[in-house]
Amino acid sequence: MTEVCPFCELSQIASPIVVYGNVMVFTPLNPVAPGHRLVVPREHVADFAADPRVSADVMAVASLLAHEAGGAFNVITSRGTEATQSVMHLHLHLIPRSEGDGLKLPWTTPKDIQG
């Protein structure tokens, strides 16, 4: 790995990060909603397809947090720059949702496949 990974750096410090075994949970720099959290493995794994065991651990923590909080959530992850992955370290966005919160997902269906 030639670039410094910001999530690997975070795994080395004590800060307002909650740790569940090998998974860290923290607020992103630019949260899109109150309660938005990132769920990230402490081990460097490039994306959700790189290591199914680590991906399962990360999803289990996200599931636990959503269950404990209750309510509606989006769980979003990406693989590859074409899919909007900007940090090449597996991470899930856990985003609480509420009716009328104004948060729009970025997906639209291209006209040529809209049936």
What's the full length of the chain, in residues? 115
**Longest Cα–Cα distance in the chain:** 51
What's the CATH code, domain 6-99? 3.30.428.10
The strand pairing partners of 76, in sequence order, are 93
What pTM, to 2 d.p., does this model score? 0.84
Q: Which amino acid is at 2?
A: T
> CA-to-CA distance for 108 and 60, rounded, in angstroms?
29
Closest CA relative to residue 92, chosen from 41, 29, 52: 41
Kindly report, residue by residue over 19-33, the tens digit of the pLDDT: 888 999 998 888 999
Kindly report, residue by residue over 87-98, the tens digit of the pLDDT: 999 999 999 999
Kindly report, residue by residue over 56-114, the tens digit of the pLDDT: 999 999 999 999 999 999 999 999 999 999 999 999 999 999 998 988 876 666 666 55
Closest CA relative to residue 41, chosen from 10, 14, 13, 68: 10
User: Quick check: 90 and 50 in contact, CB under 8 A?
Assistant: yes
Q: Where are the domains of the chain?
A: 6-99
Q: Where are the alpha helices (DSSP H) in 1-115?
A: 6-10, 52-69
